[in-house]
Amino acid sequence: DQSSLQDATLWAMPLHGAHTPRLLLKAPSYTSDAVFSPNMRWIAYGSRESGAQRIYATPYPGPGPHILISPGYGSNPVWFKDAHAILYVGDDGSLEATDVREQGSNLITGKTRQIPRLIESPVGEGFPLDVAKDGRILAITRGQDNRAQLIIVSNWQHGLKR
């Protein structure tokens, strides 16, 4: 729904002290799928601020720059547990990962890799994929019978070397 994207907002409420919500991002800078980095210093999120749906990151608690993560379409970002890459759904439903590293108070983007097409596109509301500590990718997909299934992709890095 386009109208809900125009009104999208992201708020944070401290768990300690005054429980006063604070606006972090609002449309058009923010549209969906915000997720904290493992060290809680960054938020990756979906945005159409460039005109097309992309993945960005911004420092938390901010303010700070909106750093482009996905070179093309991106949705459903998930941080790798070591915080050195962000996984997301790319343009054709493929999985992509963009390397990131902190340099002082900046987040520097690196190489973007397309994960070998081992599974169907992730589906579902919310977050249909995640990354385990050991790098395995967990994804909810639909089988040929249209039933939801949980897929675990291990050793996907080997497929990048082909």
Task: Note the pLDDT tens digit of each residue in 51-76.
Answer: 888 999 999 987 889 999 999 999 88
The Cα–Cα gap between 110 and 97 comes to: 10
**Which range (32-41, 87-96, 129-138, 149-158) has the least confidence?**
149-158
What is the pTM for the complete model shown?
Answer: 0.77
Instruction: Tell me the CB-side half-sphere exposure of residue 8, using CA atoms within 13 A.
Output: 20
Q: Residue 56: its pLDDT value, please?
A: 94
Tell whether the model's pLDDT for residue 115 goes beyond 90. no
What values do phi and psi take at 157, rounded to 5? Answer: -60, -30
Q: How confident is the model at residue 3 (pLDDT cuts 50, 70, 90)?
A: very low
The Cα–Cα gap between 55 and 108 comes to: 14
What average pLDDT is seen over the chain?
Answer: 78
Tell whether the model's pLDDT for residue 160 goes beyond 50. no
The Cα–Cα gap between 28 and 149 comes to: 34
Token pair for 81? 């547990």
State the greatest distance between any 2 C-alpha atoms of the chain, in Å, as a whole number: 53
Q: How confident is the model at residue 100 (pLDDT cuts 50, 70, 90)?
A: very high
Tell whether the model's pLDDT for residue 143 goes beyond 80. no
Q: Are 122 and 89 in contact (CB under 8 A)?
A: yes
Tell whether the model's pLDDT for residue 5 goes beyond 60. no
